[in-house]
Structure formats: C-alpha cells, structure tokens
Amino acid sequence: MSDTNTLSSRVLDSLVGAGLLTVEQLASVTEQAATRGVGPGTVLAERGLVSAADVASVLEHEMGVPSVDLSSYAPEDAALALVPASVARSRRMLPLFDIEGMLTVAIGDAMDVFMLDALAADLDMELEPVLADAAAVESAITTYYGDAAESAPAAPPLVARGDEMPPPPPVAEVDAGEPGFAASDFFEEQAAPFEPTMAVPVAPVAEFESIPTPVPLPAETIEQMAGMAAPGLGRAAIDLDVLAVADSRRIAVLVTEILEDAVAREASMIHLLPYKDDFFLVYRVKGGLEKVASAPLSLQGALVDGLKSFAKMSGVQASRPALSRVRARVGDKDLVVTVSAVPTIAGQRLVVSLASHNPEPSGLAELGMSEAEVRALHAMVERGRGILLVCAPVAAGASTTYYALLAHAASTGKTVYSVEHSVEYEIPAVAQVMINTASPVPAANYLAAGLKQDTDVVAIDGLRTVEDVHLAVEAAGLGKLVIATFPAADIASGVRRMLDLGVEPHSLASALTVGVGQRLVRMNCPNCTVETPSGAMVRIPGVTADDVNRTGTGCPNCGKTGFRGAVGIFEVLPFTEPVRAKVATGASASEIAAAADAAGMRPLAASGLARMRSGAVSADELDRVLRFS
C-alpha cells in the first residue's frame, strides 16, 4: 500500500475536507508522526485536534463507513483465523469477513481506525473498517476467541502500540445487513432507532409538479431492498438496470419513481454512492442507511444527470462540486429538495436531502434549553454585541439553534444578515445568502459584504477558515452582534481550535461574549421505559447513590427500539474576564474548560445528568454521546 493511499491518509484528508483539520495542522501531524515513529492517531489524540466523535462522523458521512450491530453478524472462521487472539484483544478489533483479500473488521472506537494500516501491512491484505459498540466488540472477542485468562500467553502485537487509545466509548448501534463483505455491508437492513425531533427542514425555492404518493414498502431483507417487490403492495422496487437502455424521458420517470419511493419509506436523504465497479442507491431512514438498489458504475452518469436536471443544475460540470435547492410536491407533502454533487476518485457522489417545509424554526425552549439559558441568550440577542458562538460536532443540532437565534433577533426588530452553506429555513425578516459550493467566491467575501450594510446582527452558519473568524472578530469590534456556528466538541475545544487556526488570541478574547455547546441525545420511549441497572452510571460525573437509570425496552410505539425522538443538552458560557484572560494567553482547551467551570458554567455532562434523572434519557445513551469512558 502506498503512503498516499493508506486508510489513515484517507481519513486525514476527509477530516480536512470536513473542516475539522486545517492543511497546516495536517502537515504538522504527519511530520510529527513520522519523526516520532508513531501513527497520526497518537498525535491527534495528544494534541486534542479532533475527537473520536469527529472521526466517527467523518467515517460515516464522508467515507461511507457504517455502524453495525454485531449481534446480526457471525464472523467467518477463516476471518478469525487470520488475526491472532492476542492481536484482536490488544487492537480491540474483531475480524468479520474475508472477501478476495479484503478483511472487514469491527472497531469500537473511531480513533482505532488509525491503527489498521500497520495491521494491514503485517497481514498483507486490505482492511475495511466498520463501527460497532465498544462493549459489543469486547464481548464478541471473548465469545469467538475465548477469555484472555484462559488463553495461551499473548503473542507480541503485529503493529506498533503508538496509536493505542484509552478504552473506547460505545458507538451507536444500528441494524446491519446481510453477512458477507461487499459494498452492500455499508448499508443497514432495517431503519435506525429514532427520528430526531430537531430535524431542520429547508425552505422552498422553485415549484415542481405534484407527484402521487406511493404506498410504503417495508424493507425486511437486503434482497427486498435491492430489487424485489414486496407482495401485495402494488409497487415495484427501483430497477436501475433500465439505465442501460434509458432515454431522457425514461430517466425522468426513474427520478420521479426514486423520489416517490424515498418519501413512501419516510427517507430524509437519498444517496448515490460510487464504489469500485458499482454504484448504490441508498436511503437514510430515521438516521440509518438502507440499501435500495445497485447497478454498474458505468450507468451512474445518466441518473446523476437526471437528478441534476431535476434540481436545475445540469449546467455544472461533473468535475466541480454543486449545490441546488428546489421545492417539489410529492404526494400530499410539500418538500424542499436539496441536491449536492461532489466529484470523488470513484465517481460523482450525489446526496439528495428531502425535508418538509416548516413555516418557522423552533424556539430555544423547544430545543431543550433550560429557562435560565433561554433568558440569557434572548438577552444577548436583544441587547448584546460581540460573538455568540455555537459549538457542536457535525449533526448535533447547531444549525437548529442558529436559526432559533436568528428568528428571535428578527422578531425584536433588528436587521439580520446571514451567510449560510445550506439554507434550512427561510426567515422573511432575515437577509439570507447561500454559498454555492461551485462558486469560487468564499464565504468570507459574503461576510465582508454584509459588514458594509446597515446590519445589526451578522451571522454565519459554519465558520471554517481563519479568514471567516477574522471577519467575525472584526464585526464584533464594530459593535455588531455576530452569531456563528463552529464544529467542535464543546465551547472550550472550539475556542482552542480557533486559536489553532491562527486567530490572534487577544482579539478573539475581546470579541467573544457568549458560548453555547450542545449535543443531541435520543429520548426514552415513554410507553416502555423501565428502571434498569447500567454500568454506565459509574462513569457519569455527579451521579449519586439515589440516582436510577431508566431505559426504553422497546415496544410497537417506538418500533421496538426503546427510543422516541431526541432532545438537546446544552452548556452556556458567558465569557467573563477570567475566561477571557485564559483565551488571551492561548491557554489549552482543558485550562479554558477549568476557567469556564470556575465561572459557574453548567457543563454538557450536568445538563445530560438532569435529563437522565428526569427519566427522559438513559445512562447508556448519555455515555454514548458524551463518551465518559
């Protein structure tokens, strides 16, 4: 394997592409890892540049690595024989399948992905990771390899231990597909456990004709999802083979059929994923991926062109990224369809977002904030200046909070100018600018243009570059309120990452006024929640002997998942002088967090603990999201 095509290098490149690492940080990490003779995972963990949650998000959303339920898999004996028991235990990985020299392995901690290249070199075969619950991985290793105490003395590990991480936290489990490793292993057989209540629909742009509503088709097996019609439902499955002989009219019909089918299955996303010699049509249903159909990669271009034509972006070259939004009425639903196309080395990757049109965003209280937090943020929006910074990992609801703040600012009579990478709500009183990924004009240029207008509140959903942050600091210095989101695990790490981008510490310290950190947690189903002992209780800070854990056991009301809906947990930090002093000196994330605690901030763990004590959230779910272990 070449150094430029290792799994680690692909993950690092994806972290840069997602805005979680800068090019300069990547170069520094690579150089330091080579100098010390360790893997990049060790350097990333030591410097705190990204969290395991960041890596997990990139693996799933950027690289297509799935999360699987190990209870649905039976590892092949041949695969188990390839990896010694001592190596499986020390690496915390479980071999699943060996298909023509490619070994699929399950890991319980996303950071462990950086350990797989050395193992692949020693095994002289390609490794393909999937994510699983850490406890399930440990249990499965014991089941298939036997208990370590009863086994022979451990052999030396095949790979250097430089990338070993602390005991991994659990990753969300989802149902898996058929056994056997192929690209179809990337997709689930069934829907994922829950549908977040904080999902944010995007707003309409252009009208399309009405499409009749089809009857939903329950997917029970991979074969049904890939092309078999469900009996008695009167609707055939999607057949991508027609692309081999399809003209433009037939392709338009196929696009309509895909939209109908996705809406019938209550999908929020449609993916066209190129993989080796094939491409896959995949739906995201209630958070999980479901494979629908596949076809030879040579046929993908016609379907991509058809979807681009539907979204009025057919003029964009295949070699350039593109983004477009249209409104369509599918059945009895008014939808906003957002189409994003990105060129990859395997072919064009197309993601279609399907969202209902809601007239206005939710308020802060509806998102799960306490009354005191809502009052503080409303006061900041109404009378404050400086930067109101919202920090959260990818898909943790930061944009939802962003729109709630914009709506409140507009309702108080302020002029609001918002720069957004994807418009999820249209707020009539807000001047919203969407950045087209195909445009050479960066977000910083639009932000700078907004500063020249008579604007009380300047907002940007997604600070990504040092230029973006510099302009936000400049706007705060002009006496404006700046509302901004930034991808980070919490407030302290977000501020530290801004400093790592190269922002001048004193300027940033003087500009920051209030910080918000947040995560999404799945709520217990109220119909089947019972008191259940949990080992995660001992890992949660602040838990007392009087606390009890409540967990949904699964019932027809929640699809037998135990979860119904999701809610946010928050931390809100006013940047007092002691906290600003730490930022001004370029302090570490832990030092900034300590100053925040001393200032009286209720951290995410305390907010989550309150949800657990109310019975809304289980200890295991809180541990999964906040990773206390």
Q: Where in the chain are the domains?
A: 3-186, 210-356, 364-519+568-603
**Is the predicted pLDDT of residue 457 greater than 90, yes or no?**
yes
Residue-level pLDDT at 73: 62
Range with top average pLDDT, 59-73, 285-299, 447-461, 565-579: 565-579
Confidence band for 190, pLDDT divided at 50, 70 and 90: very low
Q: How large is the average pLDDT for residues 269-289?
A: 82
**Is the predicted pLDDT of residue 200 greater than 60, yes or no?**
no
Q: How large is the average pLDDT for residues 153-158?
A: 42
Confidence band for 117, pLDDT divided at 50, 70 and 90: confident
Q: Could you give the angle at the alpha carbon of 6 between the alpha carbons of 280 and 50, nearest 5°?
A: 90
**Is the predicted pLDDT of residue 278 greater than 80, yes or no?**
yes
Kindly report the CATH number that applies to the domain delimited by 210-356: 3.30.450.90
Reported CATH class of domain 3-186? alpha beta
Residue-level pLDDT at 391: 94
pLDDT tens digits along 44-100? 888 888 888 888 888 877 777 777 777 656 677 777 888 888 888 888 888 887 765
How much is the CA Rg of the chain, to the nearest whole Å?
24
Confidence band for 434, pLDDT divided at 50, 70 and 90: confident
Of 606, 543, 595, the residue nearest 573 (C-alpha):
595
Cα dihedral 65→66→67→68 (10° resolution): -130
Residue 213 neighbours by CB distance under 10 Å: 14
324: region left, alpha or beta (phi > 0 left; psi from -120 to 50 alpha): beta
- CA-to-CA distance for 615 and 205, rounded, in angstroms? 41
Q: How large is the average pLDDT for residues 483-492?
A: 92
Cβ-based burial of 442 (10 A; exposed 0-12, middle 13-18, buried ≥19): middle
- CA-to-CA distance for 608 and 602, rounded, in angstroms? 10
Residue 603 neighbours by CB distance under 10 Å: 22
Residue-level pLDDT at 438: 58
CA 398 to chain centre: 11
Residue-level pLDDT at 237: 74
Q: How far apart are the first and last CA of the chain?
A: 34
Residue-level pLDDT at 439: 64
Tell me the one-letter amino acid at 130: V
- CA-to-CA distance for 193 and 562, rounded, in angstroms? 8
As a whole number, the mean pLDDT across the chain is: 79
Kindly state the DSSP code that residue 188 receives in the 8-state scheme.
Answer: B
CA atoms within 13 A on the CB side of 185: 24
Confidence band for 7, pLDDT divided at 50, 70 and 90: confident
Q: Is there a contact between 307 and 208 (Cβ–Cβ < 8 Å)?
A: no
Residue-level pLDDT at 100: 57
**Is the predicted pLDDT of residue 444 greater than 50, yes or no?**
yes
Residue-level pLDDT at 184: 34
Joined tokens for residue 147: 């208990």
* Architecture of the 364-519+568-603 domain: 3-Layer(aba) Sandwich (3.40)
Confidence band for 216, pLDDT divided at 50, 70 and 90: very low
Q: Is there a contact between 12 and 40 (Cβ–Cβ < 8 Å)?
A: yes
- CA-to-CA distance for 486 and 490, rounded, in angstroms? 10
**Between these two residues, 24 and 173, which has the higher pLDDT value?**
24
**Is the predicted pLDDT of residue 604 greater than 60, yes or no?**
yes
* Strands of the sheet with 333-343, listed across from one edge: 210-211, 322-330, 333-343, 348-356, 267-275, 278-285, 288-296
Residues 6+ away with beta carbon under 8 Å from 198: 362, 367, 397, 400, 520, 566, 567, 568
Reported pTM: 0.55
Residue-level pLDDT at 230: 33
Confidence band for 426, pLDDT divided at 50, 70 and 90: confident
pLDDT tens digits along 524-534? 999 999 999 99
Q: Could you give the angle at the alpha carbon of 585 between the alpha carbons of 402 and 569, nearest 5°?
A: 30
- CA-to-CA distance for 164 and 41, rounded, in angstroms? 8
Joined tokens for residue 124: 């002289």
Question: What are the Cα distances from residue 21, in Å, to 116, 246, 466, 493?
Answer: 21, 43, 12, 13
Name which of 53-67, 129-143, 254-268, 418-432 the model is least confident about: 53-67
Residue-level pLDDT at 610: 93
Strands (E), 359-506: 386-392, 416-420, 430-434, 457-461, 481-487
Task: Give the SS3 label for residue 271.
Answer: strand
**Is the predicted pLDDT of residue 187 greater than 70, yes or no?**
no
